[in-house]
Structure 1
């Protein structure tokens, strides 16, 4: 039985021994059902406490608890749906993969996992609970990426057209720090509902023009995915934004309020919080070779790591040949037959664990075994160069920008479809 579904547990021993004093002890409360899963009050409270703590640290004024609670429940409903999809797909995130992700996160912050743990526990949270949250985030990201990627097609003509536009621009392209508020309109809304939503959006714009804090208004009013983050979409160029946003933002100045913009999701309000320039120049490229071992039911995580550790020891002692080991053992079909070798490549195109490990090596150095989303690797840096890749970079960037734009649009559509197919009931 799903423990989350236990709302009240009677203390039977107390009932039998002392019937006058018998009572029911409330362990937790269900605030929403999502298909055969639930959202618990304790989970909502945890999010609320975190948002309040962050707001206090950032000196941000928050709306009422009722508004915050609605936002938190919506976030958790989507999370439960993703967890259910992952379970149906049989997707699991191993401890080794989780540890590698945490190590990368700690490294980005200039520390170690021990430092990260100390920071989490100093804030009053359980590090073990934090680990599980990160595991869930990785899983949700992989579920979303796997489902949405298949819906995206980018034609050579689209890339060529965007390249032409980029080439017509000056040496520096602009990026915008965007704040976003969505006043949602249901897909089956009638004209009266649409008009009511438009009026709410115009009221939000009125508040913003009066100087009210954007983050607070976003948390209180937005139905967008980043509502609890104050509607912060972060830095984006025109070409990375959804088309609707891109056309509205062109030519705008810092602090401009834009909207309401109508889409199938509802009415959007944007704020240009800042603008900066960006220029693509030279690229560092690396030539490398690696061996990939994928854990399985037969081969455990530990055995896969130990197997590669043995290879490293033999290679450093001159007892083995890297290319021969790769041909015999590597499970990367794209490189195994070539002795594990990758031609000159921009390392930033690799997954984070592979990228960071490769970039930390000296020429001809062989890494220790490390975990990525694909499995366990060892990698050797063969050579490094700085190359003028302007034309290739333009093509790569055009593809990347198109992919990001379509990924955002398709992610929203996909999530909306999943939500409409689910049976969700929020308990008042």
Structure 2
């Protein structure tokens, strides 16, 4: 069979060359379109359901949030396993699907069940889906270099400007903020004053909540003009909160400042982010979307960061904390170097020992064509390039070269035997 295949190829050599050229061109497009990352993605096919209910103990979270969610998510088709974790103020449910399930189909099925399970949860508790990224999706970390800005202002700048801008980059699933203080208005209630004015804590909470709101009115027409009547009531500063009425005492209004002190502070933190032991910083984590080209996402994020820096306050810059593209580019440079080295070594060996450049060329041409076909197969099976696969290709180059040299040497030996046989026959 092999002899027939060789004979057929020799009779149709131009057709074989055309097929080889077509595979090489196809392989070039496959290399450009193949997602590349430094780390192979061995994470499970999962959808994360996150629920926040601050101030509650892990036992309450387990009984009133985690257990109802797990019970209702069990009926989703093609589920392999469900895991859950309850902690102070938060619940995590990990829905593990079969490996052949499309991630966005799985997220849709989970969302359908969450709409049904919502009625079983406490009031104002809403579960949300985690980002559509993998366990190795944290491809880029950055932090703010702002020596003249406090951590609260840095976190506000990150959450309300930088984060929104970077989320528009194609392939970015989420920009997770870390570090600093999340600003909030804090009311420090004096229980003695509440008792003196005969006002409950719920009265204070209700008054503050209802007074932080805009209301709409009707349309008022006058002199052929229509005016929209609105009641502006959103809180803008501490003084607005202090002036809110929470009750009355003998006909005199009791305001928030009469029973509590209002201040601007930071939300409860469970950790800090420190850089090189020089102090706290504020930054973000870029999470790449499932199946995206990590190297392209990182480069697009860097380009976007250059535009974002133009709108930052004076003296504030963005610094890189972790960049996976360095590993990716090192892996790519390694296979390029090995490819060139093998071509040079093969050319020298064949030319020195056989004194025939066409034999060297026939061996060298096999290397890029074989690598191109490898990337075609990677795309066909939905596999991405990473350190493991690129290293395997680099090692396989040596096998390709060895086979080419052996075949060329064997062809020369058979030609030599055939020539000697003919010469002896003629003599």
- Do the two structures share a fold, i.e. TM-score over 0.5? no
* Structure with bigger gyration radius: 2
Q: Kindly indicate whether structure 1 or structure 2 has the higher relative contact order, using CA contacts under 8 Å at least 6 residues apart.
A: 2
TM-score range, shorter chain: under 0.3
TM-score (norm 1): 0.21
